[in-house]
Amino acid sequence: MNWQYETKPPKCPVCESTHIAEIQYGTPIYVTQNKYILGEENEIYLDPELEAQIKSGEIVLGGCFQFKDSPAWRCNNCKTKLYKSPKDNPQNAT
């Protein structure tokens, strides 16, 4: 079933968990740490704030590309994908 909501739902329609993550698309924010000792390469890390949001389950990474039918949220418990209602054709969630 394609669960659609206008805003982030307070709980999962399948398992009723309240642990719903926003799916973030695109290239994540990275930061570099320069290491010039003995000619070592720069090290690349996720932005600390983004990494904390991922670890807490607030955000999950959805891949580089977002399509028209890509989900907006995901239940961290049962992995159910939840979709944002199109603005021109909203549906009521059950």
Please state, in angstroms and rounded to a whole number, the distance separating the CA atoms of residues 76 and 56.
Answer: 10
- Helices of type H across the chain: 48-56
Residue range 45-81, pLDDT digits in tens: 888 888 899 999 999 999 989 998 999 999 999 999 9
Q: Do residues 30 and 47 make contact, with C-beta atoms less than 8 angstroms apart?
A: yes
Other beta carbons within 10 angstroms of residue 37's beta carbon come to 6
Q: Is 33 a residue whose pLDDT tops 70?
A: no
pTM: 0.76
Q: Show me where the domains of the chain are located.
A: 3-84
3-state SS, residue 50: helix
